[in-house]
Structure 1
Amino acid sequence: MSYHHLTMSERECILRMHHNQKDITQIAQTLGRSKSTISRELHRNTGRTGYSAHEAQNSYTIPRQACKPHLKVMRPERQKHIISGLEQYWSPEQIIGHHGMSLCTTTIYRALKNGWLPTVLREKLRQQGKSHKAEGEERRGTIPDCISKGKRSTEAAARSRVGDWEGDTVAGKC
């Protein structure tokens, strides 16, 4: 079972329908959500002035942002040391050793790759880190230039010629 958080547009829809005296069941059916989800949303975020979609969204996002881990690389004093080290063509190992940081070298490579540090500094690295295969189609176990059974000619599908039958038994699935 997967749970999806309410979006701002769903909260605005709840606000409009609740304001128009629609009951929880009607709101839930319109949004394709559970009645308990709508009930909890209204109960948590209804104050003296009534339900507010904007305040409900803020009460959701602010604690959520606070619970996310803060990246060690994003601390300004560390960024300053890392950037100055990279500008001097130091390796991540030298930067960490010189400044005595409790940081992993892969974190610096990842920060450069993901854009957490200026990407211009990538060129200053002596080594570019581990190369990763691009995500794509799995090629293991497939036969190159193989024609699937659905795309074969009718003669080949009938296996009336010599070679049509042997190809299926030797080569396997495409």
Structure 2
Amino acid sequence: MSHLIENGLIMLAIVFSVNVIYVSLLTVRTIFTLKGKRYIAATVGVFEITFYTIGLGLVLENLDQIQNLIAYALGFGTGVISGMKIEEKLAIGYITVNIISSNPDIPFTQTLREKGYGVTSWYAYGMEGDRLAIQVLTPRKYELMLYNTIKEIDPKAFIIAYEPRQIFGGFWVKKVRGSKLRREEEKIQSE
């Protein structure tokens, strides 16, 4: 290992790569922690701290080499981006989407239910008249598919999305958990 570290470019690549891995794991561990997945978070944390210690040790052993510190910092920034991309792919948890349709006569609720979404809707009155207010809960991995469906149904719909912290009872506990939505996703991917 000391022979590899003596080569400056290899050292920079190692420091950069170790920090990308460390920060990616940090991001993923944080997400698992926030989602209440404590054992997965703890397991990821073991690898995270191992990479952190290795990377920091390499930089501290060679503090006279400013390029190592730069590689460490660039690896940190790249790791943040990498960790966010991994989190997007994992898409853990659920998303709640509130939709306001400017046309209450569109069969919005029925169309979304046919596609497998859990939907609650009610009539509302906005600044410019009657509206249809809709609330949809879906696994995060189907979020983009839901947005595309909403835009197909009503391109002028107003959409607000957020992540719920707790879910109890209702349609989701028994039914959806993705079965109809998986079939819908497979149908879209095969087109």
Whether TM exceeds 0.5 here: the answer is no
TMscore range, shorter length: under 0.3
> Larger radius of gyration, structure 1 or 2?
1
- Higher helix proportion: 2
Structure with a larger share of its residues in strand:
2
Higher relative contact order (CA 8 A, sep 6+): 2
TM-score (normalizing by structure 1): 0.27
TM-score, normalized by length of structure 2? 0.26
